[in-house]
Amino acid sequence: MRVMKVCHACDRILGEIELDDLTSADSDSIMDIVGNVSYTLCPDCLNELKTESGNVFH
């Protein structure tokens, strides 16, 4: 079964992934699956969320 991979922050479609690939050792640990959609972060949003040590966000 194929699952559509979508960015959780910007809703960019990242492609499709086979359901069997989600159980492999190389699967993305921050992936949330809802129905046929797998939510993860795209590289651009992931880079925006990275913080330097010492920064505190409230």
Please state the domain extents for the chain. 2-42
Instruction: Tokens for 31, please give them.
Output: 């992936």
Q: What is the pLDDT of residue 14?
A: 92
Q: What is the pLDDT of residue 6?
A: 94
Do residues 9 and 21 touch, judged by C-beta distance below 8 A? no
What Rg, from alpha-carbon coordinates, does the chain have?
13
d(CA 12, CA 20): 23
Q: What is the pLDDT of residue 1?
A: 80
Query: Mind listing the pLDDT tens digit for each residue in 1-58?
Result: 888 999 999 999 999 988 776 666 565 667 788 888 989 889 898 888 876 666 666 6
Beta bridge partners of 21: none
